[in-house]
Structure 1
């Protein structure tokens, strides 16, 4: 479970050490995001950089984390905040963003991260940023 906390703290919070991904994830790491697989450590690093470029002053706070008995699966709920820099194809007007999500991690016996299945409230964020349906950010 500690590797997941370290990953969130190091990669998704200032100073955003994307190169630290090399320490945390396997070479053949996969992130399944919105039903799409991003395969390989290098492709994941590129995905992270692209995502981070769309949210300024990004912070990720872990709400809760738990794992199965042998530690091979870790699940965490999180809240990501920052300013809109063009996320989800919206104009980069720097309005506040508050995104919630859940990540389920597969962890290797050596402690490296093998796979991350992530889901987030992208629809609600998009609705808020575009003024659609009056969807507020969750508390």
Structure 2
């Protein structure tokens, strides 16, 4: 299941309600690398911890895949996504229940057996943070 199917399976199992962070054990390699917000998270367990923390900071988290496409052999996949929910302390803000909408792009490396090797995420986190903290 290389390529888009592997990535969409991840999105569905991990981020769709009810979120199942333990599914990460089945879907990513042990030395998985996530790069997000200038931070590098290395290893499956560290990634699971990060995912749980991020997920717990957005109440009623809903995840939508906007569009995905892959290279010729399915080893690289790009996805545009959208997250909505309510602020439960995302980005260290005061958990005030305010609505959140965040968009981003994820670039995945996918092994031939469908296991995910790495993910680099760019998201509009700064804009979300500014809205939640009263910035312009």
- Residues 1:97 and 2:100 are matched in the alignment: yes
Name the residue aligned to 1:87.
90
2:10 and 2:117 map into 1 onto residues whose CA distance is: 13
Could you tell me which runs of 5 or more consecutive residues in structure 2 were left unpaired when the two chains were aligned.
none
Name the residue aligned to 1:22.
25
- Residues 1:34 and 2:32 are matched in the alignment: no
Q: TM (normalized to structure 1)?
A: 0.93
1:60 and 1:5 map into 2 onto residues whose CA distance is: 11
Deviation at 1:5, TM superposition (A): 0.8
Q: TM (normalized to structure 2)?
A: 0.95
1:35 and 1:128 map into 2 onto residues whose CA distance is: 21
Could you tell me which runs of 5 or more consecutive residues in structure 1 were left unpaired when the two chains were aligned.
134-139
Q: What is the aligned length? A: 133
Name the residue aligned to 1:106.
109
1:111 and 1:77 map into 2 onto residues whose CA distance is: 19
RMSD: 0.7
2:55 and 2:62 map into 1 onto residues whose CA distance is: 10
3-state SS in 1 of match to 2:74:
coil
Name the residue aligned to 1:55.
58
Greater relative contact order: 1 or 2 (C-alpha under 8 angstroms, separation 6 or more)? 2
2:39 and 2:72 map into 1 onto residues whose CA distance is: 28
3-state SS in 2 of match to 1:109:
coil
1:26 and 1:58 map into 2 onto residues whose CA distance is: 25
